[in-house]
Amino acid sequence: MKILVLNSGSSSLKYQVIDMSNEKTVAEGICERIGTADSEMTYKAHGNKTKVEHGMPTHKEAIDLVLKTLQGENGVIKSIEEIDAVGHRVLHGAETFKDSVLITEEVLAKLEENVPLGPLHMPANIMGIKNCMELMPGKPNVAVFDTAFHQTLPNYAYMYPLPYQDYEELRVRKYGFHGTSHKYVSQRATEILGTKESKVIICHLGNGSSISAVKNGECIDTSMGLTPLEGLMMGTRCGNIDPAAVLYVMEKRNMSINEMDTYMNKKSGILGIYEKNSDFRNVRDDYLNGDERATLTFNMLTYRIKQYIGSYAATLGGVDAICFTGGIGENSGVTREKICEGLEFLGVEIDKEFNSRIETERLDGELLISKGKVKVYRINTNEELVIAEDTYRITKN
Ligand code: AMP
């Protein structure tokens, strides 16, 4: 059984074909700058990576190009019939969807209702689904939500202390995101620990970052909120700040709601403090060379993650394992070390030598990097596999 996994963004389309007989990715790539004159697609299969420069005025042409390439010279299928189902990454399930779902007209209508909760991503996600329904009639499509894994949060964790009517009328509450990553990594952690009866903290640290507390396999708190802006300091997002600072800056800088939204989502975080760019590899290098601003950025970022770990250890009533994933979490030993520094009181003791060797020797896989009571793991996330597994589970009958 082969599953096509699609992630439709506003001007991009990421795709993978996963063979469920061995859970291996057989083809993958990305269509970028869709709708512009220099749109292009990368395609990787059979160990070869190629670039296809092709006009892709809309996502429909992009999906069509993906399907043709999958059947082409370096293809992985002979006909579309070999694709059994399509799994779509969808940003917002709100409270409507607590699990992945087979797409029907009724489901599509419900997804439309969630557009106001994710105005940047939801239209592109829905467009990707509709395009597949048109290009591959009769093929089952499944929506896999970034929010679903966090639907187990208790109400006292997901409610904001705003007037209750905002929850009832506007659906304002914490939803959490990166759910497929938190699900995958927490499942791997419980498998490695050999028991589901566990208290695990997952740190997904990348351009977007979030952290979650998972007890006995269920998420009980997470750092992102109504939108992905809440929580940790990220590449270009500010994360938690005093809400009154938003009003103050808007007033003093004479900014509109849209301008402030861009300011907090695209101009803050690592970029806002470091100022050169939002690439954490540069921050890390400059920090190691003693650059003052890079040091401030590095210290702010790691301090805030450490605070969340302490907070979630209290939420969980202890911690058995801490897992690092995402571009920064998987690759930056010095960041993992700094975050864990000072957490010895919890039983966290990093194996510093091995932790730093992972980066220098480019060690791969799921690795234990601690010596203390609390297990600390570096685990590569695999969001596409979760999407493919859910799609398989929901469509196999
Ligand atoms: P992601 O969004 O998960 O792809 O992660 C992207 C982020 O990971 C970027 O900020 C990269 O600079 C960062 N990153 C990747 N490799 C490293 C590394 N070896 N050290 C520090 N940051 C890294």
| Confidence at residue 20, expressed as pLDDT on a 0 to 100 scale | 96
- Reading the block at residue 202, the tokens are 């997952």
Query: Is the CB of 206 inside a 6 Å radius of any atom of ligand 1?
Result: yes
* pLDDT for 54: 82
pLDDT tens-place values along the chain, 397 residues long: 999 999 999 899 999 999 999 999 999 999 999 999 889 999 999 999 999 878 899 999 999 999 999 999 999 999 999 999 999 999 999 999 999 999 999 999 999 999 999 998 999 999 999 999 999 999 999 999 999 999 999 999 999 999 999 999 999 999 999 999 999 999 999 999 999 899 999 999 999 999 999 999 999 999 999 999 999 999 999 999 999 999 999 999 999 999 999 999 999 999 999 999 999 999 999 999 999 999 999 999 999 999 999 999 999 999 999 999 999 999 999 999 999 999 999 999 999 999 999 999 999 999 999 999 999 999 999 999 999 999 999 998 7
pLDDT at 196: 86
pLDDT tens per residue, range 162-219: 999 999 999 999 999 999 999 999 999 999 999 989 999 999 999 999 999 999 999 9
Q: Give φ, ψ of 14 to 5 degrees.
A: -95, 140
Q: Is 6 helix (H, G, I), strand (E, B) or coil?
A: strand
* Structure tokens given for 125: 């996600």
Burial of residue 24 (number of CB atoms within 10 Å: 0-12, 13-18, 19+): exposed
Q: Which atom of ligand 1 is nearest to the CA of 359?
A: 19
Atom of ligand 1 nearest to the CA of 278: 10
β partners of residue 376? 322
Residue position matching structure tokens 């302490």: 310
Which residues does 260 contact at the CB level (< 8 Å), separation at least 6?
246, 249, 250
Dmax over CA atoms of the chain, in Å, equals: 61
- Confidence (pLDDT) at 21: 95
Q: Sheet containing 83-90: give its strands across.
A: 48-53, 40-45, 24-32, 13-19, 2-8, 83-90, 141-145, 101-102
CA–centroid distance, 1 to ligand 1, in Å, is 33
Distance 157 CA to ligand 1 centre (A): 30
Would you give the distance in Å from CA 150 to the centre of its chain? 13
Q: What is the distance between the alpha carbons of residues 389 and 260, in angstroms, rounded to a whole number?
A: 38
Tell me how far apart the alpha carbons of residues 145 and 92 are, in angstroms, rounded to a whole number. 6
Looking from the CA of 328 toward its CB, the CA atoms found within 13 Å total 29
pLDDT per position as a tens digit, 229-242: 999 999 999 999 99
Q: Give SS3 for 18.
A: strand
- Catalytic residue of the set 146, 221, 286, 320: 146
146 a catalytic residue: yes
Does 332 sit in the ligand 1 pocket, CB within 6 Å? yes
Residue 9 identity (one-letter amino acid):
G
Q: Please give the pLDDT value at position 120.
A: 86
Ligand 1 pocket test: pick from 205, 331, 359, 363 the residue with the most ligand atoms within 8 Å of its Cβ. Answer: 331
Q: How many CB atoms lie within 10 A of CB 305?
A: 26
Residue 269 CB less than 6 A away from ligand 1: no
Neighbours of 216 (CB within 10 A): 13
Q: Would the CB of 285 count as within 6 Å of ligand 1?
A: no
Q: CB neighbours (10 Å) of residue 203?
A: 27
Let me know: does 294 contact 274? Beta carbons within 8 Å: yes
Q: What is the Å distance from ligand 1's center to 284 Cα?
A: 10
How many angstroms separate the CA atoms of 396 and 3, rounded?
11
Would strands 13-19 and 2-8 be described as parallel, antiparallel, or unpaired?
antiparallel
E-state strands within the chain: 2-8, 13-19, 24-32, 40-45, 48-53, 83-90, 101-102, 141-145, 199-205, 209-215, 218-222, 321-325, 367-368, 375-378
Domains of the chain: 2-145 (3.30.420.40), 195-383 (3.30.420.40)
| CA 349–ligand 1 middle distance (angstroms) | 24
Which residues are registered as beta bridge partners of 16? 5, 28
**Closest residue by CA, ligand 1 atom 8:** 327
